[in-house]
Amino acid sequence: MTRLRSNPETPKKKRGSYLKEAADRRQREIAERISKIKLQDHYQTTDRTCDVFVGDCRQILRSRLAELKSQVHLVFADPPFNWNRAYDRWDDNLTEANYLELTYEWIDLCVQVLRPGGAFWINIPDDWAAEIVCYLKGRPAVGREPLETPLTMQNWCIWHYRFGQNVTERFINSKVHALYFTKGGAERTWNSQEILELSDRAAIYADPRTQSKKDGMPPGLRVPMDVWYGEYWGRIQGNNRERRGYHDNQLPEVYLERVIRSCSNEGDLVIDPFLGSGTTGVVAHNLRRRFLGCEYSTENARSAFDRIEHGPVRPLGQARGKSTAIFPARGTRKKPTA
């Protein structure tokens, strides 16, 4: 039998080109699905546990304040950063005073709908983190009364990623702040067992002490640290399987999975006032939480709703119990000789 040989003069396709073709194909399939969703001001899943409203979150929350007040178990907000990004219809280039006034306004409304003991998470960059923390703690802002119901800070977490935008005149930004506050008046929900990861002592050193822990955690596992990174935690860019086209700022699904698992239970109500690409909604719905999202852009709302209906890109839970150690394993710990 004659064996056919490839022409050595014909260049082979690089892996990157195949990935790009696959990513382009996914985006075309998504765009085709979205085009079939009618333009509406309100989208609801068939099980009626998930609602997406189109419009300004301040107007939507005010209009539903009577039914939502003190009923929400978890608020997760990833607002526009005022970085002059090309968001669809949203003005992302406000003056500092106007941006902060907008910020305090939607924070006030979220605090009102939050139940006693409820969790309030805000994803925000360096530019505004300090002002938001002070305001949530009840400090008065310039020209504004302090927050009527100050919240308690539980954690100031950091989402760390390796691919920051390259600059040469200063250090490269490679993080966003994940601010975790709770409202007083009741015990908070904290499901540590839902978010455990392999400890460094177990992953790197095989330390036998991790197998007989006294803190209530399973052998070898720990609650994650307040700096978040690891597999699936990178920025959603380029050929990433989770990538939704036409959206400038998308969070990884593992990020929202950690927040929602740890701070809510099945059947609880989760709200995202800036739904964007829909990550909060898709994870909350898949974890059997009730969900309400607000999105200013009609096109983004349709895309987010399509994503919620089709579920997460990867099965949830893949990052649980894994190691985020930055050093390789050093082998089994040797017992001391007599």
Mean pLDDT of the 92-98 span:
86
Rounded to an integer, the average pLDDT of 301-308 is 94
Domains of the chain: 33-122+157-176+232-310 (3.40.50.150)
Would the pLDDT of 313 be above 80? yes
CA distance 329 to 201: 10
pLDDT of 7 > 70? The answer is no
Of 34-38, 84-88, 263-267, 301-305, where does mean pLDDT reach its minimum? 84-88
Given pLDDT bands bounded at 50, 70 and 90, which one contains residue 2?
Answer: very low
**The predicted structure's pLDDT at residue 334:** 53
Residue with the larger pLDDT of the pair 248 and 187:
187
The predicted structure's pLDDT at residue 5: 47
Q: Reduce the DSSP state of residue 8 to 3 states and report it.
A: coil
Listed residue (283, 271, 255) closest to 106, CA to CA? 271
pLDDT exceeds cutoff 60 at 337: no
The string of pLDDT tens digits covering residues 156-206 is 999 999 887 889 999 999 999 999 999 999 999 999 999 999 999 999 998
Tell me the whole-structure pTM to 2 decimals.
0.89
Q: What is the mean pLDDT of residues 55-75?
A: 96
The per-residue pLDDT for 108 is 96
Residue 3 pLDDT > 90: no
Of 21-30, 254-263, 302-311, the poorest mean pLDDT is in 21-30
Burial (CB count <10 Å: 0-12, 13-18, 19+), residue 330: exposed
Percentages of the chain per state (helix, strand, coil), in multiples of 5? 30, 15, 50
Place of tokens 């022409």: 7
Question: Measured between alpha carbons, how far is 86 from 78 in angstroms, rounded to an integer?
Answer: 16
Q: How many CB atoms lie within 10 A of CB 328?
A: 8
Residue burial 140-168, b: 16+ Cβ < 10 Å; e: rest: ebeeeeebeebbeebeebebebeeeeeee
**Looking up tokens 């085009």, which residue turns up?**
35
Q: What is the DSSP string of 66-103?
A: HHHTTTEEEEEE----SS----SS------HHHHHHHH
- Whether the pLDDT of residue 101 is over 80: the answer is yes
Q: Give the integer Cα–Cα distance in Å for 221 and 336.
A: 25
Q: Is the pLDDT of residue 335 over 70?
A: no
More confident: 235 or 282: 282
Q: What pLDDT shows up at residue 23?
A: 80
**CB-based contact 94:127 (threshold 8 Å):** no
pLDDT in tens, 104-114: 999 999 999 99
Measure the CA–CA gap between 185 and 103, rounded to whole angstroms.
24
pLDDT over threshold 80, residue 16: no
pLDDT at 332 over 60: no
The pLDDT of 8-17, averaged and rounded, is 58
pLDDT value for 275: 96
Instruction: Give how far the C-alpha of residue 20 lies from the chain's centroid of Cα atoms, to the nearest Å.
Output: 25
Average pLDDT value for the chain? 89
138-167 per-position pLDDT tens digit: 998 888 888 888 999 999 999 999 887 889
Res 162: pLDDT: 85
CB 268 within 8 A of CB 289: yes
CA distance 262 to 191: 4
Closest CA to 26 of 36, 18, 38: 18
Q: Give the separation between CA 108 and CA 312, rounded to whole angstroms.
A: 31
Sheet holding 42-44, edge to edge: 42-44, 50-54, 290-295, 269-272, 72-77, 114-124, 175-182, 152-160, 227-228
Contacts of residue 227, defined as CB under 8 A and 6 or more positions apart, other chains included, come to 157, 158, 160
> What pLDDT sits at residue 134?
96
Q: The tokens of 219 are what?
A: 């052998």
Compute the average pLDDT of residues 259-280. Answer: 97
Both tokens of residue 260?
């929602």
